[in-house]
Structure 1
Amino acid sequence: MISGRALRMTAVRIVALAAVLVAVGAPARGAEAAKTGYHVTHKYTIGGDAGWDYIVVDPEDRRVYVTHYRSVEVLDADTGVVVGRIANMNGARGVALVKSIGEGFATNGTTDSVIVVDLKTLQRVGEIKADRKPDATIYDPGTGRVFVNNGDSDDMTVIDPKAGKVVGTIPIGGGPEFLAADGEGTVWTNLFDKGAFVTIDVNSLKVTKTTPIEGCKDASSMAFDSANRRLFIGCHSRVLVVVDPDSGKIVKTLPIGEHADGMVYDAANRPIFASTGDGFVTIVHQDSSDAYTLVENVKTMRGAKTLGFDSKTGKLFSATVENVPPHATSQPAPLGKVAYEPGPFVVLEIGK
């Protein structure tokens, strides 16, 4: 006969074993108790092509521009309703908004061009030839220029948006990904294939230096803190690297997920958001210019790798499709690396 003490000890062991099994089976990311309150607040089903890339938010006019391969979907930032569409795109990649002239500049990766649209009507009003496979793009109000990274020709096209013409093409010595500007004549862009970033002087339209990023493989996403002059760079080696771009010094390295492709810095509240294709947004708090704390990993959906930020409300937007399999982090082949049968295209709102 088993004694009462033996039964109690057995019960304790069973409970302990169960706890261990739960811990082992728990997800490595996104398992923390919510610390910021961020979570997926809405999922807007759009449908259509299973291709997506960069997202830009216009906080004043309450619009969200979501590139969607053959179009750019334009959503109401408050309701998620599709209020318009930039149609007849061919490999839509990124959008730069030049509000001062009421025009947007959308990269068309398949036609090697930038489509100019009227922001009120969303109708095409022009097309500017870039180089091979234009991808990420930004508008820098400080210099009044639109900068376009060309992924297959390893260079950057510089556009005067008021004149509607190219004013320069800058060889950058590697495959560019995302970019940032300080508004004072300097632009930085990641070199995906080099694990580095380049510094560009806008006045001379030349690269002034190339800076390797230790521990960074496949540098992809980028954001900039203008007050403290810090670059935040997301790498496919699953790290977020904080860099002083002037000295090239690495300030901090933090862990993030698989397939980094979106980075946002909220200057008002000082969080950094890094979205990754494995279905998470990592939130890091900037304690000071040189001190950073990993706060939490917010679960989104697989494939939701890019990120737009609404500075008015603090909400984030991402995009993906339903039914992304566990071994994929992006759109299905041939646009991505993994073949699968996608579900409907969706836009995610991530807020509190």
Structure 2
Amino acid sequence: MSGYPTLSLCMIVRDEEEFLPKCLESVKDVVDEMVIVDTGSTDRTVEIARAYGAKVYHHPWQDSFSEARNYGLQFAKGDWILQLDADEELAREDAPILKEVLRAVDKVPEVNAIFVAIHNIFKGGVAKHYFQRIFRRGHGHYEGIVHNQLVYEGFATTSEIKVYHYGYDLSPERMERKFLRTSGLLHRHLEQHPEDTFSWSNLVRVYRSWKKFEKAVEVGEDTIERLRDKMSTSQWQMIAYDTAYSHMMLGDLDRAEELCEEVLEDFPRNLDVLFTLAAVRMKQERHQEAIETFRKFLRARKEEYRRPRFSYLVVDSYGFEDRAWFNIGEAYRLMGQL
């Protein structure tokens, strides 16, 4: 499009014939080129990519997502890079907004990255977080074998451009394979980098997400004890939340409450921690306090919708409004006030 910076889609894929068409369809009219690194597909992934006009490069898998992503960057020619996974899609209504955001940011040379709003779709809800998925070509690269981080020069800006992620809405068998792959990569990495707080927080999240609550508590508590002073504020909030949630699921309500209250002292609008604390108080049969905490959650959530704030955090409870209202009603019922 005349007058706009050029944009290259960069992806790494392997056996993604189920999701890839939807992903590429969502960006085909926005990007100027598609650069796809295939790490060993045996299905129709490469055929589908080429049908959309993508440049496909074959590269053997090296047990590192960042290594594969960085390999693909060398082939991109656009002014800016858009990074997506095959199980994601750009919100169709945000395509024209993306072009306008690029045109505005391109004029600010010290800004080299743009955060977008990732909406994780899963059974029973939506989790939201912001992530750097757009960056100026030549000014960024990836680090970390799992949940890789974009390392970039200069500054970043935020946007409400939406990307939908469907990677958590899979069959139990596929989710188990995904767990084994991800946890295995993290364990191997942490053997060599035992003080990598980002990877420890990711490992706790993996255990909690796959309902391995005993391991989540074990690793979470150990990491908090050893590395609390080295964590960023977002890492602390996430690992405390995941550990508290796991304690709650195992029935240790006092420790779950303690962790939640510690986070909320400094971050009173943390939606996940508010919702978890309210759920803990429901289980403790402290129904009036549960109602008050669910209402705090609803107020914080309303403020988030009205005036979104940038955050590195994944917000699991972003779509839990109905659950909060249901629990408020249930608390009143249990108190005999319905």
TM-score of the superposition, structure 1-length normalised? 0.26
Q: Which structure dedicates a bigger proportion of its chain to helix?
A: 2
